[in-house]
Structure 1
Amino acid sequence: MHKSNISIDVYLDDQKVPEQIKWKASDSNADMEQIAKAMMVAFWDGADKSALRIDLWTKDMMVDEMADFYYQLLMTMADTFNRATNQPELSAEMKEFAKDFMQKFKKSQLQQNQ
């Protein structure tokens, strides 16, 4: 059996707020650590039937970047859900929600900037 590792280093300020996130995957083509402004990691505990997750973002993550991050996550979760369950209709609904979410976010940003 092949083993693959993903390592994540989170650098914190004095108040334990993330300042920098770096990660590296053993099976990646990238030679160097990758820098990220945000991360979400989720695990499924089959015994407890519950999701365990880690959500972190750095101080310099902008609100519009967070909205883009969530939009992209929602879209890719819909694709993953479809591949895992073969439920294209539900996947399409998730994508419609993601599009609606982003439209509402952009509208709220425009209103705030007026």
Structure 2
Amino acid sequence: MAVAHRSDINLNIGLDENRVPEEMTWSAADSGVENSKTKAAMISIWDEKAQETLRIDLWTKDMPLDQMKKYIHQNIMALADTLERAGGEADYAKDLREYALDLGEKMNVLKRG
């Protein structure tokens, strides 16, 4: 099958003299995002040959810890969604969500009613 369309997602990272991120923006033309400021990004790439995940975790040095905790919690919840949607693994996704909810309570990023 021929590729019908290509799409780019770009990160622009401003580094200090020690190569620590000070500012970040991202763009995704197909989504209408252009140089939107952010304080964190996680990129996970599946290396099929090595059968392992390659990762880049970036965050600006001024990102508050409470925001980082929310970011981590929401990423775990998103992983559960992906597991269910892409893999059809509803039971595992439910377990992961329960773990994320417990962790979110412990980190004080949410309160269960």
Q: TM over 0.5, yes or no?
A: yes
Pick from 40, 43, 51 the counterpart of residue 53 of structure 2.
51
> 1 CA distance for matches of 2:19 and 2:32?
31
Aligned to 2:22: 19
Q: What percent of counterpart residues are identical?
A: 38
Give, in whole Å, the separation in 1 of the partners of 2:108 and 2:29.
38
TM-score for the superposition, normalised by structure 2:
0.89
- Secondary structure (helix, strand or coil) at the match of 1:4 reads coil
Q: Name whichever structure is richer in helix by fraction.
A: 1
Letter in 2 for 1:59: K
CA deviation after TM superposition for structure 1 residue 46, in Å: 0.5
Structure 1: 5+ residue runs without aligned partners? Answer: 108-114
Unaligned runs of 5+ in 2: none
Structure 1 partner of 2:104:
102
Would you say how many aligned residue pairs link Structure 1 and Structure 2? 106
- The TM-score normalised by the length of structure 1 is 0.88
Q: Tell me the alpha carbon deviations over residues 39-67 of structure 1, each in whole angstroms, 9 at most, x when there is no partner.
A: 00000000110100100100111111011
